Amino acid sequence: MHGRNGKFDADAFPIARALGAPFRSFTAQITTVTLLSVAFSYYAAFFLGTARPNFPSKYLVLSMVGLVLIASGSLFAYTVGLLVSGEQQPYPKVWEKARSFIAPQALIEKVLPLLLMFAFLGAFTQMKALIPSIHPFAWDAAFSEADRLIFGTDPWRLTHAVIGPFATRVIDAVYLMWFPIFTCVLFYHAVFAGKEQKRRFFLSVYGAWMVLGIMAATLFSSAGPCFLDLIGSPVSQNYAGLFPTSPASQRVMDYLADTYRTGNLGIGTGISAMPSLHVSMAFLYVLMARKPAMKAIAVAYALVILVGSVHLGWHYAVDGIFALLGTLLIYAMTSIPEQGRAAIAPTEVSLST
């Protein structure tokens, strides 16, 4: 289409509008990081002589299945809501809602970030599993000693002194729900959040998983308390009274330990303690929450994850502390482009909620 001055009018096309600034730069950023991450995971596997990764495709399939399930569930709930409200002709409205989700602009704005994120997570799985091949676990003793210096004893002894069996089971259940909750938050920010809020969330997630989950994790390679016997660490005796944990957590620990011993990687494999991405993502929810009620829920959840990471033996306390500081810095850095745009175009309205 051409405007009145005869020039090409990009806004006339849905895809062009969807890729307009500032979303265009955000999409380009996460696309670039995803492609580079996938390429690096293949290169690292080839260079180290490990099996060629196929996680990006696996995670993409899982994300598409999840997207279909969530979209179907949302449309079903929307239909039920219309029927309950007494709508006489609900199905045209349901069809219109469904069409809005498959429009070109919606596919680019809402679906593309999800597909890119899950492809990135597939590459991340491969890179995380390669950490001990690049830098063998060497920091567990130092982090264990750091915990003792900060708290005067092993911090898990303090939590076990005040948290009983029932509360431990609750904490364990919440901790094991971390990835489903992360997935739901991911879908929310991709589909429902405003563009600026979406941009900051996705860039913060990418930054945390790359900078904290790969770079820092490789530099400070450590296995964590629950895997000290697996790696033959001399400080495992400090954690003799911490285990066994719940049957569900034990099955996850056994799964990760078996894949570490055999080298047969699977979904969600790879061992790395410092820093804690569980704590990082939970704290990011606190930073992203806007409404007081959601902020309170996010704070409560983050505290459970922070305490649970130590209480259940997955992490050292310093893993969580490092994650909190690192995530705060990464999140703060995502505000820099926003401030820059405000200086150039002060009338621009933020879509953050």
Q: Which pLDDT score is estimated for 49? A: 62
- Mean pLDDT (whole number) for 273-293: 94
- Mean pLDDT (whole number) for 311-317: 93
Q: Which pLDDT score is estimated for 52? A: 57
H/E segment holding residue 133: helix 131-134
What is the DSSP secondary structure assignment for residue 50, as one 8-state letter?
A: -
Q: Which pLDDT score is estimated for 207? A: 92
pLDDT of residue 57 exceeding 80, the answer is no
- Mean pLDDT (whole number) for 187-208: 88
Rounded Cα distance, 56 and 116, in Å: 9
pLDDT digits 0-9 by tens, 211-254:
999 999 999 999 999 999 888 888 888 888 777 677 788 888 88
Average pLDDT, the chain: 80
Backbone CA torsion sign across 246, 248, 253, 257: positive
pLDDT of residue 32 exceeding 70, the answer is yes
Residue 164: both structure tokens together = 């009983």
Q: Which residues contact 268 (CB under 8 A, 6 or more apart)?
A: 125, 179
What is the DSSP secondary structure assignment for residue 350, as one 8-state letter?
A: P
Can the peptide bond before residue 275 be classed as cis, meaning omega within 30 degrees of 0? Answer: yes
Q: Where does the pLDDT of residue 48 fall: very low under 50, low under 70, confident under 90, or very high at 90 and above?
A: low
pLDDT of residue 75 exceeding 80, the answer is no
- Mean pLDDT (whole number) for 1-6: 48
pLDDT of residue 325 exceeding 90, the answer is yes
In the Cβ-directed half-sphere of 104, how many Cα atoms lie within 13 Å?
8
Q: Which pLDDT score is estimated for 63? A: 63
Q: Which pLDDT score is estimated for 2? A: 46
Rounded Cα distance, 236 and 35, in Å: 39
Q: Which pLDDT score is estimated for 15? A: 42
Q: Which pLDDT score is estimated for 148? A: 94
- Mean pLDDT (whole number) for 327-344: 71
Q: pTM of the prediction? A: 0.80
pLDDT digits 0-9 by tens, 163-192:
988 999 999 999 999 988 998 898 888 888
Q: Is 8 helix (H, G, I), strand (E, B) or coil?
A: strand
pLDDT of residue 24 exceeding 60, the answer is no
Domain positions in the chain: 10-340
Residue 117 backbone phi and psi in degrees, to 5: -65, -40
In the Cβ-directed half-sphere of 317, how many Cα atoms lie within 13 Å?
18
* Integer CA distances (angstroms), 343 to 20, 333, 336, 337, 338, in order: 19, 16, 11, 10, 9
How many Å separate Cα 83 from the centre of its chain? 36
Q: Which pLDDT score is estimated for 11? A: 46
Q: Which pLDDT score is estimated for 215? A: 93
pLDDT digits 0-9 by tens, 95-144:
777 776 666 676 677 778 888 888 888 788 878 888 888 889 999 999 99
- Mean pLDDT (whole number) for 293-308: 96
b/e 284-305 (16+ beta carbons within 10 angstroms → b): bbbbbeeeeeeeeebeebbebb
